[in-house]
């Protein structure tokens, strides 16, 4: 069994209250006693649990992350960044998943306001005004990630601008028959990425054909799935000669499904159709997918840093940080990778 404060108290010949005060840097402990307790703790390789150590400071050293899904690559990579930073801060991460946007209020009512945590990270959903008011009233530190509320610190990605850059890239390669394979429009990122696609097309005076813009109707992960990419690409392939020569796809995971559908049909990428995805999840590099890179890990680290600062300085000014995705040029768009990049990073 790992050592406890009772073991330390016994060997240091002090009470457990004294041991607790030493670990919480209480000024009432004599320096000689503090030194003796710390030496015993070091010899026993004692690691105080964050929750236990925080009780004396009316802190739990834990953060609650409320996310819409546990299984998307986007959230997994962001949470890796969050966990890395919280680990440095000796803070526990508690995850709570919301299966559907309609469940947000119920989830907040039964978890966020009842959980004893030091702060909350709220991901990719709209914060209901009633709960925003309660958080402010109870002075609960909150940081929104991939979401926005004027009264809370937030980090978000310029989805519209990212889609605009992706579409402009395809236009710059000479394509005029460009389609979009999108997720479910119940998703805010999906709606914003559609706007960016439409803006680029209109600026280039390229007609927006409804049949060349297809969206998922799946509620599962808002349609950001390999399956939706596969099925929607099959619909595009069925257009025959009317199929787009290039496509912007709203996520890399959907692009994976789209590539599988093309291969199954005997079509080639980029020779028959060029593709640009969104996210730059790890597997995109292995598949050579041209994509819009979101700094997911970095967003997670920064979100944890901002929340830690908010917990330390609750009266500080609210900040809103926005990231513009970066175009990463690989094989699927058909660009000449031997040429110098003008607006993007070329990755062979």
Q: What pLDDT is attached to residue 341?
A: 44
Q: How far apart are the first and last CA of the chain?
A: 51
CA distance 130 to 245: 47
**Domain containing 23: what range?**
5-48
DSSP string, 3-31: --HHHHHHHHTS-HHHHHHHHTT-TTS-H
Residues 140 and 285 in one domain: no
Residues 192 and 283 in one domain: yes
Question: Does residue 113 form part of some domain?
Answer: yes
Beta bridge partners of 208: none
The region that residue 332 occupies, defined by phi over 0 for left and psi between -120 and 50 for alpha, beta otherwise, is alpha
Residues 101 and 76 in one domain: yes
Residues 251 and 105 in one domain: no
Q: What pLDDT is attached to residue 272?
A: 97
Burial 183-209 (b: 16+ CB within 10 A, else e): bbebbbbbbbbbebbbbbbeeeeeeee
**Prediction pTM value:** 0.76
Secondary structure (3-state) at 238 = coil
Question: Does residue 313 form part of some domain?
Answer: yes
Mean pLDDT by 10 residues, the chain (348 residues): 81 84 77 88 75 54 82 84 88 80 66 71 85 83 92 95 98 97 91 97 96 91 91 98 97 97 97 97 94 94 94 92 96 78 47
Residue 324 structure tokens? 């513009």
Question: Does residue 56 form part of some domain?
Answer: no
Residues 92 and 118 in one domain: yes
């Amino acid at each position: 069994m790992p050592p406890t404060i009772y073991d330390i108290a016994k060997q240091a010949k002090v009470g457990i209250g004294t041991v607790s005060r030493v670990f919480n840097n209480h000024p009432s402990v004599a320096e000689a006693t503090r030194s003796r307790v710390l030496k015993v703790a070091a010899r026993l390789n004692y690691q105080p649990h964050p929750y236990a150590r925080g009780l004396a400071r009316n802190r739990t050293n834990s953060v609650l992350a409320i996310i819409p899904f546990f299984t998307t690559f986007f959230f997994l990579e962001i949470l890796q960044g969050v966990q890395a930073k919280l680990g440095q801060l000796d803070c526990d991460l508690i995850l709570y998943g919301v299966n559907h946007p309609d469940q947000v209020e119920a989830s907040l009512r039964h978890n966020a306001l009842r959980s004893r945590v030091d702060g909350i990270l709220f991901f990719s959903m709209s914060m209901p005004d009633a709960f925003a008011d309660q958080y402010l009233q109870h002075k609960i530190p909150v940081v929104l990630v991939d979401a926005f509320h004027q009264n809370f610190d937030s980090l978000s990605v310029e989805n519209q601008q990212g889609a605009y850059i992706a579409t402009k890239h395809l236009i710059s390669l000479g394509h005029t028959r460009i389609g979009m394979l999108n997720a479910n429009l119940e998703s805010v990122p999906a709606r914003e990425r559609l706007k960016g696609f439409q803006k680029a097309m209109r600026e280039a005076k390229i007609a927006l054909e409804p049949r060349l813009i297809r969206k998922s109707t799946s509620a599962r992960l808002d349609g950001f799935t390999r399956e939706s990419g596969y099925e929607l690409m099959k619909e595009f392939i069925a257009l025959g000669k009317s199929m787009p020569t290039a496509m912007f796809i709203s996520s890399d995971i959907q692009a994976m499904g789209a590539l599988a559908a093309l291969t199954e049909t005997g079509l080639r990428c980029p020779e028959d159709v060029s593709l640009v995805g969104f996210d730059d999840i790890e597997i995109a590099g292995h598949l050579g997918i041209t994509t819009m890179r979101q700094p997911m890990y970095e967003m997670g680290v920064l979100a944890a840093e901002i929340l830690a600062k908010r917990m330390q300085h609750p009266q500080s000014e609210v900040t809103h940080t926005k990231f513009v995705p970066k175009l990463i040029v690989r094989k699927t768009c058909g660009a000449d990778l031997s040429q110098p990049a003008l607006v993007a990073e070329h990755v062979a």
